[in-house]
Amino acid sequence: MYKIIIILALVMSSYAQEEYQLGEGMQVASLPLYVGGYFSSDYKNRDNVISYSLDDIAILGYGDYDKFSYMAEFEYKSFYVETHTGDTVDITKDRKLHTERVYLDYKLNENYMFRVGKYNSPIGFWNLLPVNVLRDTTSSPVSLNILFPKFTTGAGISYSSYNGGETKIDLMLQNNSDLDSDYNNYTVDRHYGFNFSYEKEDYTFKLNGGYFRNIMSYSPIEPDEPHELLVHPQDLYYFLLSGKYDTPNYQLLGEIGTQRKESEFTTNYAGYIQGLYRFSEQHIGVVRLESYDDTLHDMKDDIAIVGYTYRPIYPVAIKSEYQIHSLHLENQFIFSFSMMF
């Protein structure tokens, strides 16, 4: 934690060319370096298990020079978690500073860009902005955790073109170990995936597919449980289709995906539809219906989520949501406060 405080103190004491705006980071002196960060704290109440946590304390730095640009992000994942189960209180403090993203981009021309490093796999809508303050709800859809590796460590190639609408194609290429493998849902040593997206006016469509090799055990329900090396690594294939209709007043969002081994489906389906209504830019209501059937982790559930978000200004979010699960012991209330700076 002290490392982040020292870095921020240095930045705050330096002279920046631009006036600071909350949620947009700040420039360090006149260097091609911008720094910012975010944090999240939440309260969860599930079947008489109550937890308070301070997590996702992160600092990020980025910049560009000529055709090169870079991004680095470091994060404390579960900085402080206090769990009350009946009369028992459990406190965990994870003080390891994780490497969330580190990559270098080279922009060849107006269409092509190459990337090396660790980056968010550009799959679906939620994985590109996996930060509480930027999400519509404190929780993310389960499909995000079970279908594909959230991070890719390796190379990436992007093609984009603008002709009235924006077309984007991304290729993800990993043939090595993860950088900071603790900080990924699946631990993979291979990942080859693609993203195709098209955005025009209020509509966005995305199509994703890929292959990865999972080498460690993983529980999406208890992601912080220790992972064990698998005797037989799993070769898994995924496919995800996403669509969004976004207007100033409301947004409709939906995703449906599947995952399989060569011989059988490991996730028969995982998807959701979500409606969001902006009563104003400060007051936002959300309803999400989710369903999934995951045979790899032997989980199946239907979930209805009702949420309300108050944003006094956009980079500050106060959110509450209630989840109703078909597995009724999973019903829970979540309240969170998060900020980007």
The residue ranges that bind other proteins (CB under 8 A) are 18-19, 21, 23-25, 34, 36, 38, 60, 62, 69-71, 107, 109-110, 128-129, 131, 134, 162, 164, 166, 248, 281, 313-315, 340
Name the residue nearer to other proteins (CB basis): 36 or 271. Answer: 36
Name the residue nearer to other proteins (CB basis): 164 or 226. Answer: 164
Residue in the structure block whose two tokens are 């559930």: 301
Q: Are 137 and 42 in contact (CB under 8 A)?
A: no
Shortest Å distance, C-beta 106 to other proteins? 13
Shortest Å distance, C-beta 183 to other proteins? 17
Name the residue nearer to other proteins (CB basis): 110 or 298. Answer: 110
How crowded is residue 108: how many other Cβ atoms within 10 Å of its Cβ? 11
- Integer Cα distance of 150 and 133 in angstroms: 18
Shortest Å distance, C-beta 273 to other proteins? 22
- Integer Cα distance of 56 and 78 in angstroms: 7
DSSP character for 177?
A: P
Shortest Å distance, C-beta 29 to other proteins? 16
Residue type, 159: Y
| Polymer length in residues for the chain | 341
Residue type, 280: S
Q: Which pairs count as long-range contacts for 311-314, CB under 8 Å and 24+ apart, including other chains?
A: 311/281, 311/282, 311/284, 312/282, 313/22, 313/23, 314/23, 314/281
DSSP character for 132?
A: G
Name the residue nearer to other proteins (CB basis): 107 or 260. Answer: 107
Name the residue nearer to other proteins (CB basis): 166 or 224. Answer: 166
Name the residue nearer to other proteins (CB basis): 134 or 306. Answer: 134
Shortest Å distance, C-beta 245 to other proteins? 16
Shortest Å distance, C-beta 24 to other proteins? 5
DSSP character for 3?
A: H
